Structure 1
Amino acid sequence: MLNCVIIEDEFPAREELKYFINNNNNFQINKEFENPIDALKYIEGNNVDVVFLDINMPELDGMSLGKIIHRFNKNIKLVFITAYKDFAIDAFEIKAFDYILKPYSEERIIKVLNNLVEELDKNDNENLIKDFNIKKITVNLDSKMVVLSTDDILYIEADEKETHIFTASNMYTSKLKISQLENILSENIFFRGHRSYIVNIDKIVEVEPWFNGTYILKVSNCNFKIPVSRNKVKELKEILTIK
C-alpha cells in the first residue's frame, strides 16, 4: 500500500485526482492540503511514499516544495500535476517520478498510478533478494546448467549479450545483466568497482595504483587484474581500509 499526500489549492482538481486514486486499491490518501507549508510539516513527520503536487500555490510554489522534499527524503516519489509546462526540466532534475499537464485524461492518471505500483514492486523484490543473502546461483557451462556457490566466484565481467562469471577453474555465463547480479549478491562480499566488473572482496590479494589515481585489483588464482573506476576509489579504500 502506497501512502499518498495531495497538495493542490484548487478544490475541483483535488477532488478529481482523489477519485482516481481512491479507485486503486494500491493507494491510500493520508492527507490533502491546500497550503504547501502545512503539507511540508506533515511530510517531514510522517511516512509518505508519493506526493502529488501542483506548482502554482500560495506562500511556497510546488517546485520549491518538491526540491525541499527531495533534499530530505529522496525515496518519496514526486508527481507534479500542473498547467505549467515550463517547469518540466526542473522537475526531472530533482528526479520527479512524473510530470502531468492539466487538463489531464483518465488514461494518463491511471498509467501513472500503475507505474508507481510497478516501481514499488520492483524495489520490494530487489530488497527481498538482498535479504535472502543468496549463497548459490545457477549459471551456464557449455550446454549444462550449473549451481555455483557464490563463495567460489572470483570476479564477474559484463559482456555485450551475457555476463561472465569466473572461478579458479572455469568461466561460466549468465543471461542476467551485471546490474541484476549486483542486486542478488551480498554487498558485504562483492564490490562493483567498475561498470563492467564485480569482484569478490574475499578473493582480493593485491591492490596496485594505476593511472589518474585509480587502482587495479589482483585476485587469488587468477592472472587477470580488475580495474577500479575513479569514482569508486573512495569506496574501495573504505572497504579495504586503505590510507
Structure 2
Amino acid sequence: MNILIVDDEPLARRRLAGLLAHLGSHQISMADHGEQALTKMAEQYPDVVFMDIEMPVMDGMEAAKIIHRDYPQTAIVFLTAHEQFALPAFDVKAVDYLLKPISGERLQETLDRIDGNQKDAIQFKDGGRFLRLPVNQVACFQAEDKYVTAHLKEKKYLLDQSLTELAQKYPQFIRIHRSWLVNVLFLRGIDSDETHCPVALLKQLDLKPPISRRQLPNVKDYLQT
C-alpha cells in the first residue's frame, strides 16, 4: 500500500512507520500537519492516510474533510490519544480510529479492513495514475460514446470498463436503461420528465437517469422490496 503518515510528533511518525514496515511491504511518506498532508495528497495519491487529530497549522479533522471530499478513494485512519474525537472522526467516513499507543495487532486489523474494502473498489486512471474508487460511493454509471462515467455525490470519474462488465462484477447495480446502471442503495423513487418518460430519483444527487419502458417493472420491484 501507498501510505501517508500525518503527525506533528516525529517519534510518533517513526514508530508507526516501523510498525507498518514490520507488517508488510508498504510505500510510506510523512507529513507534519494537515496543510503538508494536502500537498502530499496531490503529489502521491496514497491509498491510506494515518492522520493525527491535534496538530498545528491545520488539524487532522479539517484536513480529513478535504481529503474525503477531493480524494474519496483514499482511506482515512485517525490516530489520537483522546477518545472524545471518535464520533466526529466517523462523520468524515474514517475507516478506523486508533488510540495511541498503537499495538501491532490492532494496526494489522486496520490494514486487513482496508485491504478488504479496496478489493470492493473500482480501479480507474487519473492523469497517469491508477486509483481505487470505493464502489459503495458510486450512485450510478452512465455510458457515453466510448467511456463510462461513475457519478458520485460531488464528483464523477471516467472508467475504462463497459456497463456489462460493471453489472456482472457489482450486483448492487441494476440496469435501468441501456446506457445506465444505478446503485440500488441510492435509488429512492421514480418520476417523469417533461416528456412524461420515467426517470430515476437518486439519494444525494439531482441527476435523474432515464428508465426504459423495458426496465421499468424491474425498477419498481426493487423499490417495493
TM-score by length of 2: 0.60
CA distance in 2, matches of 1:85, 1:37: 24
Alignment-mate amino acid for residue 181 of structure 1:
P
Q: Which residue of 2 aligns with 1:54?
A: 52
Q: Which residue of 2 aligns with 1:70?
A: 68
Residue 44 (structure 1) shift: 2.3
Corresponding residue to 1:121 among 119, 122, 134: 119
CA distance in 2, matches of 1:93, 1:234: 22
Alignment-mate amino acid for residue 39 of structure 1:
A
Alignment-mate amino acid for residue 120 of structure 1:
Q
Gaps of 5+ in 1: 138-149, 151-178, 198-206, 210-214, 218-226
| Shift in CA distance, 26/134, structure 1 to aligned 2, threshold 3 Å | farther
Corresponding residue to 1:112 among 80, 86, 110: 110
8 Å CA contact 1:20–1:110 kept in 2: the answer is no
Corresponding residue to 2:161 among 131, 145, 166: 131
CA distance in 2, matches of 1:63, 1:85: 14
State the superposition RMSD in angstroms: 4.0
Residue 7 (structure 1) shift: 0.8
Tell me, yes or no, if structure 1 residue 181 matches structure 2 residue 171: yes
| Shift in CA distance, 58/195, structure 1 to aligned 2, threshold 3 Å | closer
Q: Which residue of 2 aligns with 1:7?
A: 6
Q: Which residue of 1 aligns with 2:36?
A: 38
TM-score by length of 1: 0.57
Residue 71 (structure 1) shift: 2.2
8 Å CA contact 1:84–1:101 kept in 2: the answer is yes
- Secondary structure of residue in 2 paired with 1:181: coil
Alignment-mate amino acid for residue 4 of structure 1:
I
8 Å CA contact 2:6–2:31 kept in 1: the answer is yes
Q: Which residue of 1 aligns with 2:151?
A: none
| Shift in CA distance, 41/180, structure 1 to aligned 2, threshold 3 Å | closer
Q: How many residues align?
A: 174
| Shift in CA distance, 32/185, structure 1 to aligned 2, threshold 3 Å | same
Gaps of 5+ in 2: 124-133, 136-159, 213-225
8 Å CA contact 1:55–1:61 kept in 2: the answer is yes
| Shift in CA distance, 109/180, structure 1 to aligned 2, threshold 3 Å | same
Residue 4 (structure 1) shift: 1.0
Following superposition of structure 1 onto structure 2, how do residues 1-243 of structure 1 map, counting pairs within 5 Å? Answer: 2-25=1-24, 27-29=26-28, 31-124=29-122, 131=161, 134=164, 180-183=170-173, 189-192=179-182, 209=192, 228-229=200-201, 231=203, 234-237=206-209
8 Å CA contact 2:45–2:74 kept in 1: the answer is no
8 Å CA contact 2:50–2:76 kept in 1: the answer is yes
- Secondary structure of residue in 2 paired with 1:100: strand
Residue 11 (structure 1) shift: 2.4
Alignment-mate amino acid for residue 15 of structure 1:
R
CA distance in 2, matches of 1:208, 1:67: 33
Q: Percent identity?
A: 28
- Secondary structure of residue in 1 paired with 2:110: helix
- Secondary structure of residue in 1 paired with 2:120: helix
Alignment-mate amino acid for residue 28 of structure 1:
Q
**Which has more radius of gyration?**
1
CA distance in 2, matches of 1:71, 1:95: 10
CA distance in 2, matches of 1:48, 1:57: 20
